[in-house]
Amino acid sequence: MAKAKGAIVVDTARCKGCGVCTTACPTKVIELAAEVNGKGYHYAYMANPDSCIGCSNCGIICPDTCITVYRAKAGATALCKTHKGNLVTHERIKINER
Ligand code: SF4
Ligand code: SF4
């Protein structure tokens, strides 16, 4: 059976670059960017998007609730080729509410 497919959206403007999410991710999806946001923090981003299983660990553990987690809708078989395998909006369900 294929692994669950997930995706996250990081509110990069609010991220303080603490890195807690990077260590909480079981599949090493998240890294801190080389660039900084408006507050001067190296923000989190999906460095390895294909590895996200939508477990929601990162969304739960972020102390500033900066991460929204999505998981493929049951029965959704096609992932968006245009977006290099990332989930497209109509195939997503939101796991956590931020
Ligand atoms: S846990 Fe939240 S605040 Fe910390 S780096 Fe990750 S997204 Fe940013
Ligand atoms: S949802 Fe799970 S697998 Fe995906 S980035 Fe967050 S912690 Fe990693």
Domain boundary assignment for the chain: 6-94
- Whether residue 9 is predicted with pLDDT greater than 60 in this model: the reply is yes
Q: Which residues line ligand 1 (CB under 6 A)?
A: 10, 15-21, 44, 62, 64, 66-67
Q: Which residues line ligand 2 (CB under 6 A)?
A: 6, 8, 24-25, 27, 29-30, 52-58, 69
Burial of 97 (0-12, 13-18, 19+ CB in 10 A): exposed
Atom of ligand 1 nearest to the CA of 22: 6
CA–CA gap between residue 54 and residue 24 (Å, rounded):
13
pLDDT band at 5; cut points 50, 70, 90: confident
Q: Which CATH architecture has domain 6-94?
A: 2-Layer Sandwich (3.30)
Mean pLDDT of 9-31: 97
